[in-house]
């Protein structure tokens, strides 16, 4: 189980219709439209390629991905930490024609692009598509290797943000980001505190095949889709009080958590496929994988989703059982959870997992981590 701290309920990660898409004056809107039309014309006049043009940012579902989430840069990171930034940049430039290996977010990005391809077939003029932005604190000198690797794999990533060693978090809203994926937990925490849906990526410990025609996204419930209201009760008062609380509040929707907006984004795109009679063959499938018990606390979850107008394809209530085996069966391109022990269990069986640092569970995780570090130091 997982959820959202009442003190944090004002931190409401926003959906595609909200993040960065602030109210503009009529004059500003006209100016923005003119700027976009000019940029579109320039792009189309300069390129003879058949690569699709990126969607208009105001219409897109923007996913910002860090270079270390998209690619395996463990060795490069080691050089940076042990030898410094100059040696790191020198190494990257010397190896700019050596293709980087896929990282934890790679399969997810590929699947997202398959969804875009299908949407473009069905809705040629619609710009409500995924837009992947490479958001990295790398220096621009490293950009050639990143571009070469992206082109090697045929990824359609046109927008870059390279901040030269500075944190890129301040640019997330400027890029109208709906979801931020990074290998850096501190930056992810910073994004969450800014009200942007974000998660730290972890590679699965086994190589497993992924469906290349259907994007599969799995979510934990509390502190991911929902607030940690219920999780607080579990941590502070125990399961019996939690079950009692959920039954009393069965008809009261849970407050939203960090990933609610992204689930809504996926749902809007799913409806586009349903409108074309592709419900049974949709290239997007969503899963709720929760440690809650269905009989004792599941009704409130399902009624909350219903009240949001959100449909989830599969709901799996595990009543405290490990999530790893179920996730190994689903084989999601990404699994979001706020509890590190669920992330680690998923990793062991090959699932690519994304940690959402939100809610009261982080307090307990950090306390446990501090205790284990202190114990190790004494040995």
Which member of 220, 222, 337, 338 is catalytic?
220
- Name the phi and psi angles at 61, rounded to 5: -100, 100
Alpha carbon distance 171, 163 (integer Å): 9
Residue the block writes with tokens 């949709």:
282
Alpha carbon distance 66, 180 (integer Å): 8
Known active-site residue 220: yes
Dig out the tokens for 298 from the structure. Answer: 């599941």
Shortest CA distance to 38 belongs to which of 56, 26, 25? 56
What string of H, E and C letters represents the secondary structure of the chain? CCCCCHHHCCCCCCCCCCCCCCCCCHHHHHHHHHHHHHHHHHHHHHCCCCCCCCCCCCCCEEEEECHHHHEECHHHHHHHHHHCHHHHHHHHHHCCCCCCEECCCHHHHHHHHHHHHHHHHHCCCCCCCEEEEEEECCCHHHHHHHHHHHHHCCCCCCEEEECCCCCCHHHCCCCCEEEEEECCHHHHHHHHHCCCCEEEEECCCCCCCCCCCCEEEEECCECCCECCHHHHHHHHHCHHHHHHHHHHCCCCCCCECCCHHHHHHHHHHHHHHHHCCCCCCCCEEEEEEECCCHHHHHHHHHHHHHHHCCCCCEEEECCCCCCHHHHHHHCCCEEEECCHHHHHHHHHCCCCEEECCCCCHHHHHHHHHHHHHHHHHHC
Alpha carbon distance 136, 161 (integer Å): 6
Q: In degrees to the nearest 10, what's the CA dihedral of 96, 97, 101, 106?
A: 80
Residues annotated as part of the active site: 220
């Amino acid at each position: 189980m997982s959820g959202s701290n009442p003190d944090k309920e004002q931190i409401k990660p926003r959906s595609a219709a909200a993040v960065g898409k602030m109210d503009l004056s009529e004059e500003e809107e006209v100016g923005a439209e003119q700027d976009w039309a000019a940029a579109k014309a320039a792009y189309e006049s300069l390129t003879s390629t058949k690569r699709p043009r990126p969607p208009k940012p105001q219409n897109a579902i923007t996913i910002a991905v860090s270079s270390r989430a998209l690619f395996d840069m463990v060795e490069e990171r080691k050089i940076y930490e042990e030898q410094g930034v100059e040696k790191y940049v020198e190494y990257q430039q010397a190896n700019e024609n050596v293709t980087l290996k896929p990282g934890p977010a790679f399969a997810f990005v590929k699947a997202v692009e398959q969804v875009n391809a299908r949407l473009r077939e069905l809705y040629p003029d619609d710009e409500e598509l995924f837009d992947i932005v490479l958001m990295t604190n790398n220096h621009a000198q490293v950009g050639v290797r990143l571009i070469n690797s992206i082109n090697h794999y045929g990824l359609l990533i046109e927008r870059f943000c390279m901040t030269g060693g500075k944190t890129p978090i301040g640019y997330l809203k400027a890029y109208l980001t709906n979801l931020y994926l990074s290998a850096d937990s501190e930056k992810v925490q910073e994004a969450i505190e800014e009200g942007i849906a974000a998660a730290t990526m972890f590679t699965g410990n086994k190589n497993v095949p992924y469906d290349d025609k259907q994007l599969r996204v799995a979510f934990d419930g509390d502190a991911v889709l929902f607030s940690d209201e219920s999780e607080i009760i579990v941590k502070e008062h125990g399961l019996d009080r939690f079950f009692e609380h959920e039954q009393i509040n069965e008809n009261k929707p849970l407050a939203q958590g960090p990933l609610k907006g992204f689930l809504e984004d996926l749902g809007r795109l799913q409806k586009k496929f349903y409108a074309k009679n592709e419900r049974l063959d949709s290239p997007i499938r969503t899963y709720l994988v929760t440690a809650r018990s269905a009989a004792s606390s599941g009704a409130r979850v399902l009624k909350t989703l219903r009240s949001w107008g959100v449909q989830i394809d599969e709901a799996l209530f595990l009543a405290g059982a490990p999530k790893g085996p179920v996730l190994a069966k689903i084989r999601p391109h990404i699994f979001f959870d706020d509890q590190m022990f669920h992330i680690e269990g998923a990793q062991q069986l090959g699932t690519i997992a994304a940690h959402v640092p939100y809610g009261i569970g982080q307090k307990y995780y950090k306390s446990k981590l501090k205790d284990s570090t202190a114990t190790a130091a004494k040995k």
